[in-house]
Amino acid sequence: MTARRDNEIERFEALVREHQSAIYRVAYRLCGNQDETEDLIQETLIESFESFSRFRPGTHFDRWVFRIMRNTFIDGVRRRPKVRIESLDAGVPGAGGELQPREIVDLGSSPDATMMAQTLDEPIQRALDALPEEFRLVVVLADIEGLTYEEVSEAARCPIGTVRSRLHRGRAILKEKLKSYVRF
Amino acid sequence: MCMAVISPTALAQPSTTNAVTGTELLRRVLAAEERVSFRARQTVVISSGKRADATITDEVNYGSARSRVTYVLPASAAGRTVIRDGKTRWTIEPAIRTIIQSEVVQRPVPQNKIGAIVNQVARTYRLVMGKEMSQVASRPVYVLELTPAQPDRPRRVWWIDKQTSLVLKRELYNVAGKLEEVSIFSNIVINPMQDAGLTVLKAPKGYRIVTRPLDNAATDLEAARRLLPTSGNIPASLGSGFDFQSARVVDASGTKSIQVQYSDGLASLSLFKMPANSKLPNDNGHGREILIGSAKGMLIQTVAPYRILSWKAAGGTLNLVSDIAEETMTRLARALRF
Amino acid sequence: MKCERCNLRLTAYLDGKLNARETRELSEHMANCRRCSEDLREFEQIRAILKGLPAPAPRPGFWDDSIRAVRMLAVQKRRMRRLDFRYASGLAAAIGIVAVLLSFPHGTDRVPLPLPETAINPASLVSLYARERGRSPLADVGKLRFASSQAEAADIEDNGRLDVQ
């Protein structure tokens, strides 16, 4: 019994180490800040280890963890206070306290999307934060993590049609929100 | 600018401004609430420290608790619509495809209660009329400043429509004297053509309707004390002008708790008495410890500008929620016997 | 094909999820519609930006700590079993135990069980405050609209319930 448990945790640890970047990336993009990311990952890992006997070796461990993370995340969101501190639409207060429009990044001058993504990391994250959780989950899994619709559907526990519509709505909202930063 | 510009209207009615006193104006504002029919867009900017947030709503109010409010901003609330038809209130929430249905509680203040509220406000605030002529949304207004006798609660400035006594613009200064809120109506139409369809719920397809149970509440102190046998003796006043206003039973994890609202007529405090095993919120470690008697209390400000002070007392966990100065909150908490 | 119909399918088009007929219809529409082809370009751009987001770095030692927490939980559960404790299952209890464990040196045998506590959600308290305030005369309507706009959708008029764990 003990030996089996030890063995189990060794295997679990090895899989976590192997997929840690993806796990962190998804959790971080869902939560938007380090504290909540750490909580989400730790809760998810504990849950995952609890049900590790149900993991089928040979299948994608990260996808399986995302599925558990989805529940932990959605449950967590429901019980945590979630107050948007700053609205993207509100502009930034100037020195005199008046509202000013945000600086707009001109995509024409730096056409490299990766560069853009790096400079816009913070506004993008805030735009992501403003998406309804279920939409955010789908966008993060599909567009940031590169999962297929089928894999997203499995991890997000919703039909493929829903993945498609949430992804569309999610991208459309992001597009609108980032308009003040990006001149497409 | 050093030269005063006097408009022809001001010359024609030189005494109008002086004839109205602050208390009379407050009385008119109370009498107009929920009675005047109008349509407008309301823009609210709240600034707290380095942050500023804007909320924009399009509002139609036909009086008698019939209204429709649609949120335009922030994006996270865009599309949310609150409809009241005089009896029922619906919040249509597109983000979760849900309609929350409840009873309408807000009503116009009865004429015979107006005097008492004006007196209550006048006990704590100085009411001063602005001298200069002013306009909001191209409508002539009175300016009324409501300054608390002690600077431990917000000061307000209201721009009040001369014709209808609606408050067209409000500024609220926090206890540090900083401008915290500006709300202003624009595109205002008084007595618009009424479209009855606007205050009737037309449920969008695929939305579920959740009905909120009837309130278990009381606005009379004796009735409030009978709401929950376990709640103890609800105090009639917290001191500093904050008198009992209403009480309501709320559900905390299946255990009944009580929320009691205290008001000085303008500022207010909620007092929650919750089960003893409730854990004090600590705002992820950002909370500050404050001693309430011999008990360790916790002061947090998760949702600026509101503060929450929580502490353990005999028979339960107490929480005060308000936007008044933390010193006053602490003082009221220390003096509280509940 | 109408623009709205086209717009709804842009994401699927971009991701290659349309059938041959739909793909052809969409391509034909876009060839003649500047607005929809602009939209497609923007969707493409958003997808590319998301893909290019930098990988966030965890703080040093984060993974070691997390794995240690799981290990401790495993050890703890074994002890519990040996002592034949039927302790409360569920995530909250498990995390409580891990939190307590982390504050003990390795190898400590006696671990106190956390008391069940109900956490108070501050946002719900404020939302209930705002609701009550909004019902009284002379309410700061704007400020309350703001408080309401900041609350989570599910928290609005929240059945008089405090959203607690």
Instruction: Tell me which H or E stretch contains B246.
Output: strand B242-252
Interfacial C residues in 105-144 facing A (CB < 8 Å): 119, 121-124
- Report the b/e string of A51-75 with b at 16+ CB within 10 A: ebeebeeeeebbbbbbbbbbebbee
Show Cβ contacts of residue B137 under 8 Å, excluding neighbours closer than 6 positions. Answer: B40, B168, B184, B185, B186, B187, B188
Work out the pLDDT band at C119, boundaries 50, 70, 90.
Answer: low
A93–B54 CB contact, under 8 Å: no
A130–B76 CB contact, under 8 Å: yes
Residue B44 burial by Cβ neighbours in a 10 Å radius (0-12, 13-18, 19+): buried
Q: Once rounded to an integer, what is the mean pLDDT over residues A176-182?
A: 76
- Cα dihedral: C78, C82, C83, C87 (round 10): 40
Contacts of A175 in chain B (CB under 8 A): none
A99–B45 CB contact, under 8 Å: yes
Q: What is the pLDDT of residues A57-108, one digit of tens each?
A: 888 999 999 999 998 888 776 554 433 222 233 333 333 333 333 333 333 2
Contacts of C88 in chain B (CB under 8 A): none
Q: What is the pLDDT of residues A124-175, one digit of tens each?
A: 888 898 898 889 999 999 999 989 999 999 898 888 888 988 999 999 999 8
Show Cβ contacts of residue B268 under 8 Å, excluding neighbours closer than 6 positions. Answer: B242, B245, B261, B262, B322, C129, C132, C133, C136
Report how far residue B82's alpha carbon sits from residue B126's, in angstroms, rounded to the nearest whole number. Answer: 35
A97–B52 CB contact, under 8 Å: yes
Report how far residue B53's alpha carbon sits from residue B104's, in angstroms, rounded to the nearest whole number. Answer: 28
Q: What is the pLDDT of residues A29-50, one digit of tens each?
A: 999 888 888 888 988 998 898 8
pLDDT at residue B234 is higher than 80:
yes
Say if C162 is an interface residue toward chain B (CB within 8 Å).
Answer: yes
* Per-position DSSP letters for C27-90, written without gaps between them: HHHHHH-HHHHHHHHHHHHHHHHHHTPPPPPPPTTHHHHHHHHHHHHHHHHHHHHHTT-----S
Say if C63 is an interface residue toward chain A (CB within 8 Å).
Answer: yes
A175–C42 CB contact, under 8 Å: yes
Contacts of C11 in chain A (CB under 8 A): 164, 167-168, 171
A88–B75 CB contact, under 8 Å: yes
Say if B252 is an interface residue toward chain A (CB within 8 Å).
Answer: no
B306–C149 CB contact, under 8 Å: no
Report how far residue C81's alpha carbon sits from residue C94's, in angstroms, rounded to the nearest whole number. Answer: 14
A120–C49 CB contact, under 8 Å: yes
pLDDT cut 70: percent of chain B above it? 91
Contacts of A72 in chain C (CB under 8 A): 91
Nearest Cα to Cα of residue A61 among A22, A9, A30, A4: A22
Average the pLDDT over each of A23-27, B173-177, B212-216 and give the range with the smallest value: B212-216
B75–A130 CB contact, under 8 Å: yes
C46–A174 CB contact, under 8 Å: yes
Report how far residue C85's alpha carbon sits from residue C97's, in angstroms, rounded to the nearest whole number. Answer: 13
Token digits of residue C89 = 């299952």
Name the residue in chain A with its Cα closest to that of B93.
A132
Residue A31 burial by Cβ neighbours in a 10 Å radius (0-12, 13-18, 19+): buried
Name the residue in chain A with its Cα closest to that of C126.
A81
Contacts of C47 in chain A (CB under 8 A): 143, 171
- Distances C159 to B189, B225, B249, B254, B297 between C-alpha atoms, Å: 34, 22, 11, 12, 28
Q: How close, in Å, is residue C98 to chain A by CA atoms?
A: 9
Closest Cβ–Cβ partner in B55, B105, B257 for C162: B257
Beta strand B81-85 pairing with B134-136: unpaired
* pLDDT on residue B255: 64
Average the pLDDT over each of B209-218, B256-265, B310-319 and give the range with the smallest value: B209-218
B51–A93 CB contact, under 8 Å: yes
Q: Which chains reach chain B with 3 or more Cβ–Cβ distances below 8 angstroms?
A: A, C
* pLDDT on residue C90: 37
Say if C95 is an interface residue toward chain B (CB within 8 Å).
Answer: no
- 3-state secondary structure string, B81-150? EEEEECCEEEEEEHHHCEEEEEECCCCCCCHHHHHHHHHHHHHHEEEEECCCCEEECCEEEEEEEEEECC
Closest Cβ–Cβ partner in A13, A175, A184 for C67: A13
Closest Cβ–Cβ partner in A20, A46, A124 for C95: A46
Work out the pLDDT band at B271, boundaries 50, 70, 90.
Answer: very high
pLDDT at residue A116 is higher than 60:
no
Handedness of CA C35, C38, C43, C49 (dihedral sign): negative
Contacts of A29 in chain C (CB under 8 A): 53, 56
Interfacial B residues in 28-47 facing A (CB < 8 Å): 45, 47
pLDDT at residue C74 is higher than 80:
no
Q: What is the pLDDT of residues B111-122, one digit of tens each?
A: 999 999 999 999
Work out the pLDDT band at B318, boundaries 50, 70, 90.
Answer: very high
Q: What is the pTM of this model?
A: 0.56
Closest Cβ–Cβ partner in A12, A83, A117 for C52: A117
